[in-house]
Each structure stands twice: as C-alpha cells, then as structure tokens.
Structure 1
Amino acid sequence: MGQNRLGEFIRARRDLLSPADVGLAGPRSVRASGLRREDLATLAGISADYLSRLEQGRERNPSHRVIKALAEVLRLDAEATEHLHRLAHPPLACDAFGGEEVSPELERMLGAWRDTPAMVVGSELDILVANPLGAALYASAGTRNALLFVFLDPQAKEFFVDWEVIARRGVAALHAGAASLGGNSARREAIVERLCAESADFARMWAKYEVRQTKYETMRIRHPEVGELELVYHTLRVNEAPGQLLKVYQAEPGSLTEKRLRELANL
C-alpha cells in the first residue's frame, strides 16, 4: 500500500462518479470509467495540472478552500469530508500517539456489565479486551483481529448473516482509523498487505476507499452455540486513548435474542 493516501482517496472517489452525477452531458462511450480528472478540476475551480500533482503525491499541502471544493464535487458526506481534511492536514505525530493498552478503569467497567456484550477495539480493529459475554459472542473466531476473521476465516460468511455489509463497514472503519491517527502504523500496513494478497473481496472494497466509522448499527449473526442473534451496537470513542473504540451490543427487550444472550452467558 502506497504512502500517497490523499491522492489515492481522491482518485478512488473520482472513479465512483459518472459525468451525469455532476451534471455533465456526453456519450458514455467517449468517456473513461469514472469522472475525468479535467472535469473534476474544472468543477472544483483548480487547474488539471494541480489536481494531477495532488493525485500523484507531488503536491501535499492543498488549502482548506481546495479541499472543501473537492469534497463538494465528489459528493462526499460529512464523515468522508472530515477524512479528506485529515489526509490533507494530518495531526502532528505527538497528537497521534496512543497506546493499545486498555485502562484498568475501563476494563473494570466492562466486567461489571454482565448482561451486555461489550469490548474495546483498537485502531487496527483488534479486540483488545472484552467482557465475558462479549468474548463468548466471538468465541469461534480464530483471531483477535476483526478484519482477518471477516475476510480470511471460511466460517465468517456463515457467522455473519449480512456478511457483505459487515465487511464494508470494517474496511471503511480501517480507512477512517488511519486518518484519525495521522497515518499508518506498521501493523496496519501489514494487515492491509496480507488482506489484499489473500482476499479479492477485501482488495475490491479497499480500492473503493469508503470512509466511515460505525456509530449505531444493527448486526445479525449465527452463533454456533445459541443460534441467530439480532443485535444493535453502539460505537463510542475512548477519549483517553485515541484510536480505541468501545462497542456495546444490545438486544431488543423481550426478544428471542435477549433470551439467547442469557443462555450464552450461562454456558
């Protein structure tokens, strides 16, 4: 994976648009796939040469005005726009520092939640710590890294009822996490390189460069011990440890999933 993350992101999002998406006419047979660099530059109010240098990594300090204009033309949502700004103006290295150790206070809090699966996930999507019910939820995973499980474990597509949705969320979260910490760690680089080499699905999703940090989502899994579970989960940032996320899962009160979670807690 290259180091020109800003240029890679702009090119990937440009490729997702058609001329019609931005109000340009013209027969598709004459146009290459995606939005032409010249068209994006014109609509953003910059020169094609400047955009070319941005995409190739020869220009690395675009103004906030340029980034705002590119985000508008590329139809980026608020989170993707923030990601683009972070790529263009990353935080200082000292701001990006954060260990992957979970504070004892947070770990104790998780342990007190006996009826609710909960875990802390690191910046590379490793499960750093989980309470007993959270650990039981993913007991069948052969790795602590969520993406390695999703893309490389043969049972993952059976485990996750909506596997494609879960996979896309994970890839988008990894993209978002890299920018929030101001760049890539050696471990993240290694994970991405391995997944690109061993999973065509991951390589396809990674190239689209979707950026999204999950906050409130639903998930359905087929647990090997208690059957299908339908869960809602909240994702919260751990302020004292940049890059870490607290994930808390809940079942609808009175539902079959709530009953099955109680069964899982007693196994």
Structure 2
Amino acid sequence: MAPEHTPSSSGSGGVELGRFLRARRTRTSPERAGFTVGAGLRRTPGLRREEVATLAGISIDYYVRLERGKETRPSPSVLDALARALHLDDQEHHHLRELAARAARYAPAPPPAPGRTVRPHLRLLLEAMRPHPAYVISRSMELLAWNPGGLALYAGLDDWPATRRNLARYLFLHPAARDLFPDWDKQVRGCVSRLRAIAGTAPDAPDLGNLVGELLLKSPDFAGLWERYEVTGRKPALKTFQHPRVGTVTLTCQTMHLEDTPSQRLGVYTAEPGTPDHDALLLLDMTEPRTAPRPPEKDREQAGELS
C-alpha cells in the first residue's frame, strides 16, 4: 500500500488539496476543456498542468505549487477559476473550498475519533420504527446501534462481531454483499465518494484512517475507486436488495444527521404497508440475529467495549 493514499499520511494542510486537484486534472478531458487534441499520443492523462493554469488564469509555477502542497492559501477567486477549469460540479467545488480552508488553518495534531456512544432515546427511536429497518452509523459508516431489521437487512452482517460491523467494510469485504445488491458497482462508488469527501477535510482522523488503510490493503476494488478521488455521490431514494431470506425487496431509503451528534447519522428503510415489500420487512423484523464470535478481550478494550 502506498502511504500517500491513506488519509492519515498528509504532511501538511496543502497535500490533500494538491491530491484533489491532481486527481480532477487527470480526469478532465482536453476536449471538454476546449483543447484540440492532435493525432499524437498525450503522455499525460487528462489535462496538463500548464493547461489548467492557462484556463484558470494563473501562473504555471503557482499551480504546480498548489498540486505539490506548497501553496496553502489560494484566494476564493483562484478556487473558483480552478473549479471552472476542471469542470467541477457544485459538490466538488464545495469540497475544493473545504480543502483550501483546512490547508490555511492546518494543525498537525490528529483530532480525536468521534464517540461511539448512542444516546438512550435514539435506541428507543430505533425500536419504535419496527418493522422498518433502522440503524445509527458513525461518519466512517460504523454500525453503532440497530433494530432487528436494520441488522438483518444486510445479509450475513451478523456473522461479524459488533466491533467489526461497518457498512463500508461489509460492501467490500463480506462475501454476501455482491449478491445482496444488484447494483453493487453503483453502491460502492457512492460509499467511497462519501468516505473520500470526509477524509479530505479530516485526513488525520484515526477512525477514517484505520478503515481506509484496511480497505486499501484488502480490496483492490476499493483501492481503485479511492485513487479516482470522486466526492460526488448522491444516495438514491430507492434501493433494491436481493435478500437470501425474503427475496427481492425495494425500499425507500432516508438518512439524516442527528441533532447535537454531527458525527452520527440515522438511516431508515421504509415500504408502504400492505405491499409485498412491507411483508418482507415484517419477516426480517422477526429474524433472530446469530451470535457472532466476540473478539479477544484485548481487542474489545481497544474498541472501547470494556471499561
């Protein structure tokens, strides 16, 4: 695994900004940018550095310093010009601004990982949502709390101990995930885009660094998508599962940030009562989760399970 790929390896605030610019430059076609490409082969994928500089109206030396992480205070007008030159959409443009803001105020001390504690009233809310599958996840997609359907919907996830239940880890490393999602390729692209967007503005966060490092080592699919540095990924309202227990089921998906706990999100899947999809949820709600093997006591202490 190349160290430059992990979120926690940035040596300065401008490094992640440079990575993003480089990734978007190599994925912007010269034709889209208005350049005429001759018959000869271009050794550089996408745009050359000097082409981006020209389109943005800045010097080549200044742009090179941006990509190398040596320039950490680009002005808002320069950022807007770069966004136009690289044809960034609104979400990518916003991410570019966030990276620049972080570069300007960079502090080398890594921030603490968000807490894993789920407040009691949220657990009551999960229970009240039955039979609709619901769960609380962390910003790194770690499953923190769930109702029966929220766990059973992800077929085979209860094979893993609670400390390893992470939806990103499930998508890439669990053998049941590819069969569960008929559009697995789309699901994993959205997953990596969300992690990339968060890691870009918090590259030293240990919860993200540990997860990304594991997936880079164990999943070539993840590594390839991570390298693309896409941060645009909207979650579809409808999601279809090919579940081994209840068959094909299509559900409406909704996620939301929790008040006073910005690092946690509530996810809920719903179906209209009286429909076959809702009947499937009733069956899933009655699923008794299998008891997964618990990790050794030392691992549980590191995960914060033991006091």
* CA contact 2:240–2:251 (8 Å) conserved in 1: yes
Which residue of 196, 200, 224 corresponds with 1:175? 196
- Ranges in structure 2 where 5+ consecutive residues have no aligned partner: 1-5, 288-307
Using the TM superposition, give the Cα deviation of residue 250 of structure 1 relative to its aligned residue in structure 2, in angstroms.
Answer: 1.7
Q: Which amino acid aligns with 1:23?
A: G
Say which SS state the counterpart of residue 46 (structure 1) adopts: coil
Distance 1:119 1:244 in 2: 10
2:139 paired with 1:123:
yes
Which residue of 6, 11, 29 corresponds with 2:22? 11
Q: Which amino acid aligns with 2:270?
A: Q
Q: Which amino acid aligns with 2:209?
A: E
Give the match for residue 302 of structure 2.
none
Which residue of 211, 232, 240 corresponds with 1:212? 232
Q: Which amino acid aligns with 2:27?
A: L
Using the TM superposition, give the Cα deviation of residue 46 of structure 1 relative to its aligned residue in structure 2, in angstroms.
Answer: 1.2
Give the match for residue 198 of structure 1.
218
Q: Calculate the TM-score normalised by the size of structure 2.
A: 0.79
Distance 1:189 1:148 in 2: 13
* CA contact 2:253–2:270 (8 Å) conserved in 1: yes
Using the TM superposition, give the Cα deviation of residue 262 of structure 1 relative to its aligned residue in structure 2, in angstroms.
Answer: 1.4
Specify the structure having the higher radius of gyration (Cα): 2
Which residue of 154, 162, 169 corresponds with 1:148? 169
Q: Calculate the TM-score normalised by the size of structure 1.
A: 0.90
- 1:232-264 C-alpha deviation (Å, 9 max, x unpaired): 211212231222222111225543222211122
Give the match for residue 243 of structure 1.
263
Distance 1:92 1:243 in 2: 20
Say which SS state the counterpart of residue 13 (structure 1) adopts: helix
Using the TM superposition, give the Cα deviation of residue 86 of structure 1 relative to its aligned residue in structure 2, in angstroms.
Answer: 0.9
Q: Which amino acid aligns with 2:170?
A: F
Using the TM superposition, give the Cα deviation of residue 67 of structure 1 relative to its aligned residue in structure 2, in angstroms.
Answer: 1.3
Report the CA distance shift for 1:48/1:100 in structure 2 as closer, same or farther (over 3 A). farther
Say which SS state the counterpart of residue 240 (structure 2) adopts: strand
2:117 paired with 1:101:
yes
Report the CA distance shift for 1:253/1:135 in structure 2 as closer, same or farther (over 3 A). same
Using the TM superposition, give the Cα deviation of residue 187 of structure 1 relative to its aligned residue in structure 2, in angstroms.
Answer: 2.7
Using the TM superposition, give the Cα deviation of residue 215 of structure 1 relative to its aligned residue in structure 2, in angstroms.
Answer: 4.9
Using the TM superposition, give the Cα deviation of residue 15 of structure 1 relative to its aligned residue in structure 2, in angstroms.
Answer: 1.0
* CA contact 1:214–1:235 (8 Å) conserved in 2: no
Give the match for residue 73 of structure 1.
85
2:184 paired with 1:163:
yes
* CA contact 1:232–1:249 (8 Å) conserved in 2: yes
Which residue of 123, 128, 136 corresponds with 1:112? 128
Q: Which amino acid aligns with 1:12?
A: A
Q: Which amino acid aligns with 1:47?
A: S
* CA contact 2:155–2:243 (8 Å) conserved in 1: no
* CA contact 2:192–2:226 (8 Å) conserved in 1: yes
Q: Which amino acid aligns with 2:179?
A: E
Give the match for residue 50 of structure 1.
62
Give the match for residue 85 of structure 1.
97
Q: Which amino acid aligns with 1:36?
A: R
Q: Which amino acid aligns with 1:122?
A: S
**C-alpha RMSD of matched pairs (Å):** 2.2
State the percentage of identical aligned residues.
39
Distance 1:217 1:123 in 2: 20
Single out whichever of 224-233 and 98-107 deviates more from structure 2: 98-107
- Ranges in structure 1 where 5+ consecutive residues have no aligned partner: none
Which residue of 222, 227, 245 corresponds with 2:247? 227
Task: Identify which of structures 1 and 2 has the higher relative contact order when contacts are C-alpha pairs closer than 8 Å and 6+ apart.
Answer: 2
Distance 2:256 2:190 in 1: 15
Using the TM superposition, give the Cα deviation of residue 87 of structure 1 relative to its aligned residue in structure 2, in angstroms.
Answer: 0.9
2:76 paired with 1:64:
yes
Q: Which amino acid aligns with 1:19?
A: P
Single out whichever of 104-113 and 161-170 deviates more from structure 2: 104-113
